[in-house]
Each structure stands twice: as C-alpha cells, then as structure tokens.
Amino acid sequence: MLERKVFDRALSEMAARAGADIIVKAPVVGITKDKNSFVNGVTFRYNRREYTSKAKIVIAADGIESQVGRWAGIDTTHDLRDVDVCAQYLISGIEIEPDLCDFYLGREIAPRGYIWVFPKGDDIANVGVGIGGTISGKGGKLAIDYLNEFVGKRFPGGKILAQVAGCVPVGDSLPDLVADGIMLIGDAAHHSDPISG
C-alpha cells in the first residue's frame, strides 16, 4: 500500500535535486496570462506577500472543481451524481491483517459506495467511507456518520490519530483537460483511483 506522505516527500526531494525550488504553504491566488491570453504563470501568497511565478505550462493539481482550471476558463464543475463524499480516519490499536485490504459494501453501511480498511502497519490502518454525493445528508446522515457507526462496531477500542474528509470524482473525466498554457491532472481533471487509499 502506498504511503502517500512518504511518496510525496520522495518526489519533492527528486525535484529539488533536479533544480526545482520547493515552496510549501503558498496558496495560488490567481493565474497570469500573456498578451495572447495564454496562461503563463501563477500568483501565489507566501509569508503574507504575493509573488508571481512564470512557467511554460501550468499544471493544475488543485483538487476537485479546480479553481485554477476555472480561472483559465475550463468548466470544472461536477454533478452531485458524479461525486462521492468521503471521510477517513487513521486508527491505531486495532486488530487487522497487515497484508490485506478490506472492503465492505451495502446500502446500510455505505450507500452507493463502500468502506475500506487499508493497513499502514501491524495495528494501524486508514479506515474510511465513500457515499454517493446525492445521498450525503439524506435522513440527516453524512459520510462521517456512516464511518463512526462502522468504526464503533468493528474497531471499538481503536484510537483515532488523524481525520480527513472531502469529495472524490467518480464520473467521467472532464471533456477539456487543457487550455492554452495549462493542463489539469488528478482530481482537478476528474481522474481518480478510488481504490488506492
């Protein structure tokens, strides 16, 4: 199972060794365009100041309904039928098979989705749920409610170390993934691998 934080750090280290400048905690607040309206960079905020960085191509990897893509004129909106709402805990002190991923299906535990248990060690795992976007909130139940019910029954003694929540695109990819000077990738392009954890 891929350990995403370790993987991301390794990619950053490789990029830095190849000469890239790595800047973290620097949200993009706009794009720049040349005289022909080609995207040629981004404006970002860092240490309470705004900076501009120029590029031959801007890669928008800013997640579902990409704001960077929208600034470039690409429609990145989703229909709720094409989105799953997800919640996940990192839980320790639980009994799992460290070499097996578990999946649970059923309308009662994860309507139009599934629950996953992705081991991260001998007694630690990512435990999460994804439910259909049109189902979230029906009957007053959110993804986190389904997750809490499952965890309470399956891992009652587990200790929650971290929590994340968000949406995942599950429909078709965007019809337009590129525009002049910009390319959308990952969730921003409505591409996802919902089984990777």
What is the CB neighbour count within 10 angstroms for residue 41?
A: 17
CA neighbor of 187 nearest in space, from 72, 115, 84, 71: 84
What's the angle, vertex CA 139, arms to CA 172 and CA 163, rounded to 5? 65
**What are the start and end residues of each CATH 3.30.9.10 domain in the chain?**
80-169
CATH 3.30.450.20 fits 4-76+174-189, yes or no: no
Bridge pairing between strands 182-184 and 58-60: parallel
CATH 3.40.50.1100 fits 80-169, yes or no: no
pTM of the model: 0.83
Q: Residue-wise pLDDT tens for the chain (197 aa)?
A: 777 889 999 999 999 999 999 999 999 999 999 999 999 999 999 999 999 999 999 999 999 999 999 999 999 998 888 899 999 999 999 999 999 999 999 999 999 999 999 999 999 999 999 999 999 988 889 999 999 999 999 999 999 999 999 999 988 888 999 999 999 999 999 988 655 44
What is d(CA 90, CA 118) in angstroms, rounded to the nearest whole number?
9
